[in-house]
Structure 1
């Protein structure tokens, strides 16, 4: 016994809308360095009425369990998806983190903090090397001039990364929302 024609039409319209949003989410995930298929997976979970297993996701998306596992692992690492427990189920279940503000904050913190720390470390090491070279080439005015110019560039870069580190802190501790409050839209 199938759906009556009116319900079938409503369901088709709903699925078309969801597919359009899922496709857009998938394309936008590229900004985060996430593959299109993993973005589609996130979109699928976003509209799911309940947590899903890898098998259910694979069946819905026509992808292998391995591909689903890789995509889910990426989303878990970025805190965009949560593993949930359901009484009576022996399989792992997954659902999205619906708080997009928190998702962005976590993503920004995870990705940018690592990058900032790496860059600060490299800049400090490079500054130490310049200081040694300044002593070594103290009698060579041309080299000393080049080293001073590079030192100024490294200081500017270091100041930027310290600023970025403080910006990341505002995301991590929630102060960003004092500067740019979360607001509900009037209408869309």
Structure 2
């Protein structure tokens, strides 16, 4: 292996490790994020055996996480003519990756949180007493804010990449 290839592999390994750590912040497990990073930075498609060997994970772990990444829409299965194995490739468009992650986080985290806040607000509507009123008002404010943030996320993720960057520049500039 040449020095350049060794340096590339070192950089890729560092990226995979950090993407794995970042993935836990999205609410996914480290291995799933590491597989995503590996596929995202690979020039071609990889089979389950490639993933297992590169990341030193079991077949079951690799298979389960590949399946979940397909379910999220972050990777897709590829058929290679003449080969019976399943191959996978990642979505590489950064804006698409962002919108997919935003959509999945909304479905898994934001929508259940909104439903809970709505239920708590409904359950305490009209209750008497200072504590009950304070609780109801706080939950209502949280519900309104989370709902607003969810709508803004939907709006931004539905925009074309360039338009979203322009809008962000105006807001932040």
Q: Normalising to structure 1: TM-score of the pair?
A: 0.74
Structure with larger Rg: 1
Task: Give 1:104's aligned residue.
Answer: 98
2:54 maps to 60
2:158 to 165, 173, 176: 173
Report the counterpart of residue 146 of structure 1 in structure 2: 131
Which residue of 2 is the match for residue 18 of structure 1? 12
Q: How many angstroms does 1:176 deviate by?
A: 7.4
C-alpha spacing 1:161/1:62, structure 2 compared with 1 (3 Å): closer
Per-residue deviation at 1:98? 0.5
Judging changes above 3 Å, is the alpha-carbon distance between structure 1 residues 29 and 43 closer, same or farther for their aligned structure 2 residues?
Answer: same
**Given the alignment of the two structures, is residue 161 of structure 1 paired with residue 161 of structure 2, yes or no?**
no
> Aligned Cα RMSD in Å?
2.6
C-alpha contact 1:113 1:168 (8 A) present in aligned 2: no
Q: What is the alpha-carbon distance in structure 2 between the residues aligned to residue 27 and residue 121 of structure 1? A: 29
User: Secondary structure in 2 aligned to 1:118?
Assistant: helix
Give the deviation of 1:80 after TM superposition: 1.8
- Where 1:94 maps in the other structure, the secondary structure is strand
2 CA distance for matches of 1:176 and 1:154? 34
Unaligned runs of 5+ in 1: 1-6, 135-142, 183-188
CA contact (8 A) 2:45 2:87 kept: yes
1:75-90 equivalent positions in 2, closer than 5 A: 75-90=69-84
Check the 8 A contact 1:116/1:164 in 2, yes or no.
no
Distance of 1:27 and 1:114 partners within structure 2: 19
Q: Is the 8 A contact 1:109 1:171 kept in 2?
A: no
- Number of paired residues? 167
